[in-house]
Structure 1
Amino acid sequence: MRKLNIAYVGFGKSTNRYHIPYVKQRENFNIARIVTPHLGKRPEEAELAASGTIFSTDIADIINDDTLDLVVVVTPAKFHYETAKQLLLAGKNVLCDKPLVETLEEAKELVKIAQEKNVFFMPFQNRRFDSDFLTVKKVIETGYLGDIIDITVNMDHFRPDDAGQGTNFDGAWYGHGVHLVDQMIALFGKPEKVQYDIRATRDENAVDDYFSVNLLYPKHRATVAASELVALPHAKWIVYGTRGTFIKQNVDQQENDLKVGIMPGTDGFGLDSPQDFGQLVYYNQNGDKIKKTIPTVAGDYGRVYDSVYETLVNTSDKLVSDEQILTVIESLENGFIQ
Structure 2
Amino acid sequence: MQKIKTALLSYGMSGKVFHAPFLDIHQGFELLGSWERSKKLIQEDYPYVKSYATLDELLADDVDLVIVNTPVGTHYEYAKKVLLAGKHAVVEKAFTTTVAEAKELAKIAKDKGLKLAVFQNRRWDSDFKTVKKIIDDGVLGDLVEAEFHFDRYNPLLSPKAHKETANDGAGVLKDLGPHIIDQAVSLFGCPKSVFGDIRVTRENSVVDDWIDLTLFYANFRVRIKAGFFVREANPAYTLHGKKGSFLKPRGDVQEDDLKVGKKPNLDSWGTEDESLQGLLHTEIDGKILREKVPTLQGNYFSFFDGVYDSIANHKPEPVTADEGVKVMQIIEAAIASNAQQKVISIL
Q: Same fold (TM over 0.5)?
A: yes
Structure 2 residue identity aligned to 1:64? A
Match for residue 26 of structure 1?
26
> 3-state SS of the aligned residue for 1:179?
helix
RMSD of Structure 2 on Structure 1 (CA):
1.7
**Map of 1:45 onto structure 2:** 43
Q: Does 1:10 align with 2:10?
A: yes
Equivalent position of 1:242 in the other structure: 242
- Cα distance in 2 for partners of 1:6, 1:13 equals 18
Q: Aligned partners of 1:155 and 1:128: how far apart in 2?
A: 14
Work out the number of aligned pairs and report it: 332
Is the alpha carbon distance of 1:267 and 1:114 closer, same or farther for their aligned partners in structure 2, counting shifts above 3 Å? Answer: closer
Counterpart AA for 1:263 = K
SS state of the match for residue 63, structure 2?
coil
Does the Cα contact within 8 Å between 2:248 and 2:278 map onto a contact in 1?
yes
TM-score (norm 2): 0.91
Query: Structure 1's 226 and 101: CA in aligned 2 closer, same or farther, altered over 3 A?
Result: same
Cross-structure match for 2:56 = 60
Q: TM-score, normalised by structure 1?
A: 0.93
Amino acid at match of 1:313: A
Q: CA deviation at 1:251?
A: 3.0
- The answer to which of 186-195 and 54-63 deviates more is 54-63
Residue 38 of structure 1, CA deviation: 2.3
**Equivalent position to 1:121, from 97, 108, 116:** 116
1:316 is the counterpart of 2:315? yes
- Measured after TM superposition, the shift of residue 181 of structure 1 is 0.5
Query: 3-state SS of the aligned residue for 1:169?
Result: coil
Flag the 1:196–1:298 CA change in 2: closer, same or farther, 3 A: same
Residues 1:141 and 1:35: Cα distance change in structure 2 (over 3 Å): same
**How many Å separate the matches in 2 of 1:241 and 1:248?**
15
- Structure 1 Cα separation of the partners of residues 27 and 205 of structure 2: 48
What SS does the corresponding residue of 2:51 show, helix, strand or coil?
strand
Letter in 2 for 1:183: Q
Q: How far does residue 39 in structure 1 lie from its aligned partner after superposition?
A: 5.1
Deviations along 1:290-322, whole A, 9 cap, x unmatched?
123211111112221110111111111222233
Q: How many Å separate the matches in 1 of 2:336 and 2:217? A: 21
Counterpart in the other structure of 2:216: 216
Q: Structure 1 vs Structure 2: percent identity of aligned residues?
A: 32
Specify every segment of 5 or more residues in structure 1 that has no aligned partner in the other structure, as ranges: none
Matched AA of 2:43: E
Could you tell me which amino acid in structure 2 is paired with residue 190 of structure 1?
C
Shift of 1:268: 4.3
Shift of 1:72: 0.9
Check whether the contact 2:127–2:249 (CA below 8 A) recurs between aligned residues. Answer: no
Equivalent residue number for residue 77 of structure 1? 72
CA distance in 2, matches of 1:165, 1:91: 33
Question: Which residue of the other structure, out of 89, 109, 112, is the alignment partner of 2:107?
Answer: 112
Counterpart-to-counterpart distance in 2, 1:267 and 1:145: 31
Is 259-268 or 294-303 further displaced after alignment? 259-268
Distance, in Å, in 2 between the alignment partners of 1:23 and 1:137 is 26
| Cα distance in structure 1, aligned partners of 2:72 and 2:251 | 24
